[in-house]
């Protein structure tokens, strides 16, 4: 028994792999391993490395941005914003740390700045309303 893995990006299909024996993904709660007979599940993915092994015997690694994973029957769907494939695990780990996690912190900074602007706007609006 095996699984069918699809890694989806906003603009297309990154990977469509048949005969997958096992998958390991990084969720927001930690590492999660999937085998063909595992119950159906869904998980929020953190930026990290996905590892999967095919029946042909090869282990494949890919760097993934945050997203979601859904396992239903023998189908596993991973939907992420960005993905990078590679055989060198150290190189992929460095890419995740440099690109994906750095962008996440920049996005958090932008959200914080927007929240401050909105808060300031609401304060000023409230002051004008009471005058």
In this prediction, residues 31-43 reach a mean pLDDT of 94
**58 CB neighbour count, 10 Å cutoff:** 9
Distance CA 126, CA 4 (A): 55
pLDDT confidence tier of residue 104, bands split at 50, 70 and 90: low
In the prediction, which pLDDT does 130 show? Answer: 66
Res. 68: pLDDT tops 80: yes
Q: What is the 8-class DSSP label of residue 100?
A: I
Average pLDDT across the chain, whole number: 84
Res. 80: pLDDT tops 80: yes
pTM of the predicted model as reported, rounded to 2 decimal places: 0.72
Spell out the domain ranges in the chain: 3-105
Distance CA 34, CA 103 (A): 28
In the prediction, which pLDDT does 72 show? Answer: 95
Q: Which CATH class is domain 3-105?
A: mainly beta
Q: Could you give the percent of the chain with pLDDT greater than 90?
A: 47
In the prediction, which pLDDT does 48 show? Answer: 83
């Amino acid at each position: 028994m095996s699984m069918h893995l699809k890694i989806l990006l906003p603009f297309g299909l990154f990977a469509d792999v048949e005969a997958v024996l096992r998958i390991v993904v990084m969720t927001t709660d930690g590492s999660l391993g999937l085998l063909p007979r595992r119950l159906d599940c869904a998980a929020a993915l953190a930026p990290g490395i996905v590892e999967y092994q095919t029946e042909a015997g090869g282990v494949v690694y890919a760097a993934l941005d945050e997203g979601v994973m859904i396992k239903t029957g023998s189908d596993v769907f991973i939907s992420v914003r960005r993905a990078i494939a590679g055989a060198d695990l150290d190189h992929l780990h460095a890419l995740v740390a440099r690109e994906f996690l750095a962008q996440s912190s920049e996005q958090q900074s932008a959200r914080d700045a927007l929240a401050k602007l909105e808060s300031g706007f609401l304060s000023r609006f409230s002051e004008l309303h009471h005058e």
